[in-house]
Structure 1
Amino acid sequence: MTATSQRPRITSAPLTTPVLSLSEVSKTYGDGEGTITALHPVTLDVRPGELVAVNGPSGSGKSTFLSIAGALLRPTTGQVKIAGQEVTALPQGALSAFRLEHLGFVLQSSNLIPYLNVREQLTLVPHLAGLRGRDVQARADDLLGLLGLSGRARHLPDALSGGQRQRVAIARALMNDPHLILADEPTASLDSARGREVVELLAGQVRQRGKAAVMVTHDERVLDLCDRVVSIVDGRLRE
């Protein structure tokens, strides 16, 4: 197999401008004979209204891929664009503010702050961006209502079920109206029914709001809910 054939180009049919665009992105560690390739060069576009699943076994490179897509890790080669901004060209000090404005994250364990109630989990996000006031409270209440959490607004995370915590995480990811949502194994701690409920909710919000989303998962039970599925094995992404 030639080097060119090892570099898949994975694109979707719509002609709208991609929210996430990775071009020949790779990640290696070390140098010389000790070089380890965590992610082989890949090109991937994700467009508005599209939920793309990245499926693969543990140790396949999914976490490296997601970290690069989320501007948390710089690639060794290639270019990453999010909402038209080449994030690989941004200085390190500007990345945190960029992520806060343009990205929303849904993590495996929901990653809720234990001493904040559900509404506070959401209002913390705009607070970090320097936004306060009634509009912030109103947006939080709207999202909680939309996701069926109004009755849990004053509850702490320990008083919620696993599915409810993940719904709070999705609401929090939407709070700053991001262009791109990245979900890391959001069903890992849930049973089959709750897992499908969470992914259905995520997919619905992505399509209704015209967001782009990437979900890294090894849960094949929810892949049918996604618009596209790409696989990653030994650091190589393929459709």
Structure 2
Amino acid sequence: MTLTTDRPQTASISHAAAALPTPTLSLQGVSKTYGDGDGTITALHPATLVVQPGELVAVNGPSGSGKSTFLSIAGALLRPTTGQVMIAGQDLTALSDAGLPAFRLKNLGFVLQSSNLIPYLNVREQLTLVPHLAGEDGRGARERAEELLKLLGLSERARHFPDALSGGQRQRVAIARALMNDPQLILADEPTASLDSVRGREVVELLAQQVHAHGKAAVMVTHDERVLDLCDRVVSIVDGQLRE
């Protein structure tokens, strides 16, 4: 009787394990050091973090703690000294330096602190530039841009240039641009730093909504404690050490 009871349970456990989704981002023991010998500086101690689809994770910590190094590694902008980086099932150590830009363009979306909009492009052009760079310009890209502008409440601002937008509107454009290539992973670097509390909260609410509604994964580096409650998880970096 015991054996008969155990078999279905084992099969059920195996089935549940097999059904687990592939993490969008998996960092295993990643670290970053500069120099060698007595001149070695450790910017990031070995860190492990897994982010699943539909999850917004905040990385919190003081200035100079290693947050920017961590985000650069997670965004395939900086290779770690040790450890493994997996994004959307791709081991980045298997990609050449020449192959990384195309991978980022296809799989990653970035939202930066200053929105980083191009001053001589209007709002619609900010979005359609992304598929143009990927060689996918065309009617589909224009339709995707219009869809995102409507979704993020920017349709009436489509012909406006960045200097005619408020700070919150510029960050909404940055989020729309980050979503243009339908990325697996969104990385946000202090997206509320230049905004007041109301606008900052609106931006993070919008980011969380997109992550949850469309099964994206997002990592947001921030020291803004006013928006941490909007995130699914919060991890901290202190002196280069990641603390779950």
TM-score (norm 2): 0.92
Question: Residue in 2 aligned with 1:212?
Answer: 217
The 2-side partners of 1:43 and 1:167 are apart by 30
Where 2:20 maps in the other structure, the secondary structure is coil
Structure label with greater radius of gyration: 2
Question: Residue in 1 aligned with 2:86?
Answer: 81
Of 170, 176, 179, the residue aligned with 1:171 is 176
The 2-side partners of 1:91 and 1:236 are apart by 28
Question: Residue in 1 aligned with 2:107?
Answer: 102
Deviation at 1:135, TM superposition (A): 1.0
Cα offsets for 1:40-76 (capped at 9, x unmatched): 0011100100000000000000000000000000000
The 1-side partners of 2:229 and 2:131 are apart by 33
Question: Residue in 1 aligned with 2:8?
Answer: none
The 2-side partners of 1:132 and 1:25 are apart by 36
Question: Residue in 2 aligned with 1:4?
Answer: none
TM-score (norm 1): 0.94
Where 2:73 maps in the other structure, the secondary structure is helix
The 2-side partners of 1:99 and 1:194 are apart by 28
Residues 1:224 and 2:229 are matched in the alignment: yes
Determine what percentage of the aligned residue pairs are the same residue: 84
Question: Residue in 2 aligned with 1:7?
Answer: none
The 1-side partners of 2:144 and 2:243 are apart by 38
What is the aligned residue count?
A: 226
Unpaired runs of 5+ residues, structure 1, are 1-13
The 2-side partners of 1:182 and 1:32 are apart by 33
Deviation at 1:16, TM superposition (A): 2.0
Question: Residue in 2 aligned with 1:189?
Answer: 194
> Which residue type is aligned with residue 55 of structure 1?
N
The 2-side partners of 1:188 and 1:160 are apart by 17
Cα offsets for 1:127-155 (capped at 9, x unmatched): 00001211111100000000000000000
Instruction: Give structure 1 regions of 4+ aligned residues with deviation exceeding 2 angstroms.
Output: none
Counterpart mapping for 1:27-38 below 5 A: 27-38=32-43
Deviation at 1:88, TM superposition (A): 2.0
The 2-side partners of 1:109 and 1:221 are apart by 19
